[in-house]
Structure 1
Amino acid sequence: MANTWLPPAEYIATLPRATAYACLYFTDTQGRPFQLRATYETGLWQWPGGNMDPGETPWETAVRECREETGLVHEGEPRLLGTHFTSDRGDHWPANHIGFIFDGGELTDAQIAAVVLDPEEHSEYRLRTLAEWEREMPPGNFRRLAEIDRARRTGTTVYVEAAEEL
C-alpha cells in the first residue's frame, strides 16, 4: 500500500472528533476543594470552567468561564495540574472530551463570600474535605478530584483517563 498524501482538510476529516474544556481548581485556606453543582445534570459537581470557544487557549477558557460562572476574576499565572480524557460516550457526548485543569489557588473567605453563581448553570457551591466529597460524588468523578488534589499538594501534573463518568 502506497502512502498517499492528503490535503490537511481531508486528513483532518479522517481523525476522531474531540472537544476540549478547561477549568480552575480552587480550595479554601483549609485545603477543602471548591465545587459548583450543575443545574443541567442532577448530582453533578464540577469546577469553574467550560468548553473552549473558537480561537481560545485552554488558559483563556478557564479564566473566562470562572468569571462567567462565579464572578471571580483570576489573575494568577497558568499552572497545569492535570489533563483529563473521556472517551466518546455515544448519545451522551458523541466525541472524545479532553480537559485541562489549572491551579486556581486558595480562595480567601472574602472571595468565597463574593461568589455570584450564574443560575442558568449552577445552583450552589460547596467547600468540603475529600472524605466528604467522596460520599457525595460518583466514583469516577471523585477519582478525578482526588488526583487533581494530589497534583496540587505534591507539585506534580497528572493524567486522568475515564469513560465511566457522568
Structure 2
Amino acid sequence: MANTWLPPAEYVETLPRATAYACLYFTDTAGRALQLRTTRGEDVWQWPGGNMDPGETPWETAVRECREETGLVFTGEPRLLGTHFVRDRGTRHWPANHIGFIFDGGELTDEQIAAVVLAPEEHTSYALRTLDQWRREMAPGDFARLAAIDRARRTGGPVYLENGPAEA
C-alpha cells in the first residue's frame, strides 16, 4: 500500500478528537489542598479550572477559569505539575479524548482564601483539607490524581496521568 499524502485539513479529519482543560492546584500555608465542590454532585471535587476556549493556551485557560470560578486573580508564572489524559468513553457523556493541564497555583494566604467568591452555577462550596482528609471524601481514582499532583509539587517533577473508560 502506497503512502498517500493528504492536505492538512483532510488529514486532520482522520485523527482522533480531543478537548482540553486546564486548572490551578492551590494549597494554603499549612499545605492543605483547595478543591471546589461542583454542582454536578455532592461527592465531586475539582480544582479551579475548566475547558479551553478557542484560541486560548492551557495557561490562559487555567488563569481565566480560576478568576471566573473563585474571583482569584492569579499573577504567577506557569509551572506545570502534570498532564491528565482521559480516553474517549464512546458515550454521549463526553464523545472525545480529554486532555488536562494542571498548573501550580502556589500557596494561598488566609486573606486570599477569605476573598474566594464561587460561581454558583458551577460550584456549591470549597474546602481545604489534608490529603488524609481528602482520601475519605473522594472516589479512589480522583484521590489518586490529587495525590499525584501534590507529590509532583513537592518533588518538582511533573506527572503524566491516564484514565481509561471505566475510571473517567
TM-score normalized by the length of structure 1: 0.98
For structure 2, list consecutive stretches of 5 or more residues without a partner in the other structure: none
Does residue 8 (structure 1) correspond to residue 27 (structure 2)? The answer is no
Matching residue's letter, 1:3: N
Q: Which moved more, 1:143-152 or 1:90-99?
A: 90-99
1:94-109 to structure 2, matched below 5 A, reads 94-109=95-110
Question: 2: CA distance between counterparts of 1:45 and 1:91?
Answer: 22
Question: 2: CA distance between counterparts of 1:149 and 1:73?
Answer: 22
Residue aligning to 1:19: 19
Q: 1:23·1:65 contact (CA, 8 Å) conserved in 2?
A: yes
Question: 2: CA distance between counterparts of 1:6 and 1:73?
Answer: 44
Residue aligning to 1:33: 33
Q: 1:138·1:165 contact (CA, 8 Å) conserved in 2?
A: no
Question: 1: CA distance between counterparts of 2:116 and 2:45?
Answer: 16
Residue aligning to 1:118: 119
Matching residue's letter, 1:114: A
Question: 1: CA distance between counterparts of 2:50 and 2:152?
Answer: 21
Cα deviations by residue, 1:71-96 (Å, 9 ceiling, x for unpaired): 00000000000000011112221110
Does residue 150 (structure 1) correspond to residue 133 (structure 2)? The answer is no
Does residue 47 (structure 1) correspond to residue 63 (structure 2)? The answer is no
Q: 1:84·1:160 contact (CA, 8 Å) conserved in 2?
A: yes
State the 1:52 CA deviation: 0.2
For structure 1, list consecutive stretches of 5 or more residues without a partner in the other structure: none
Residue aligning to 1:86: 86
Q: 1:36·1:123 contact (CA, 8 Å) conserved in 2?
A: yes
Question: 1: CA distance between counterparts of 2:42 and 2:18?
Answer: 24
Question: 2: CA distance between counterparts of 1:26 and 1:114?
Answer: 14
Aligned alpha-carbon RMSD (Å): 0.9
Residue aligning to 2:72: 72
Count matched residues: 166
TM-score normalized by the length of structure 2: 0.96
Question: 1: CA distance between counterparts of 2:158 and 2:145?
Answer: 12
